[in-house]
Amino acid sequence: MNVGGNVSKEVVLDETKTVCVDFDDTLCLDNKLGPPCQSLLDFIAKNYKEIDYVIYSARSPIKDGVVNTTIEEWLAKHKISRYFKKIIYGKPKALFYIDDKACVWDIKK
């Protein structure tokens, strides 16, 4: 389901130009659907046309027996769907990962 943006599950990714961005505690500053990390969004906004940004998450793709659209709705609410090619539940192959548990983004800048 595509809610309020162009995030597509049908996109075929070129892993040589794919950068995966973790959702909880990285793109979203907490795991309770708080605000986005503005410095990370500023960086992505500068080059999202050349790089395929993908959101990945450990959240379940099914919630209460239906497709979980929490991330799509959050992206639409913050009007940032256009920056991301795909949402993947799990960890896909990519050139680089931005994750609070791997390559930590300095959110203080």
Q: The CATH number of the domain where 85 resides is what? A: 3.40.50.1000
Report pLDDT for 93: 81
Q: What's the one-letter identity of residue 47?
A: N
Q: Helix, strand or coil for residue 104?
A: coil
**Does residue 6 belong to any structural domain of this protein?**
no
Question: Residue-wise pLDDT tens for the chain (109 aa)?
Answer: 233 344 555 677 777 889 999 999 999 998 889 999 999 999 999 999 999 999 999 888 888 888 889 999 999 999 999 999 999 988 888 888 888 886 566 767 6
CA angle, 28 as apex, 26 and 31 as ends, to 5°? 95
Report pLDDT for 80: 96
Q: Is residue 56 within a helix (H) or strand (E), and if so which, with residue range?
A: strand 52-57
Number of domains the chain is built from? 1
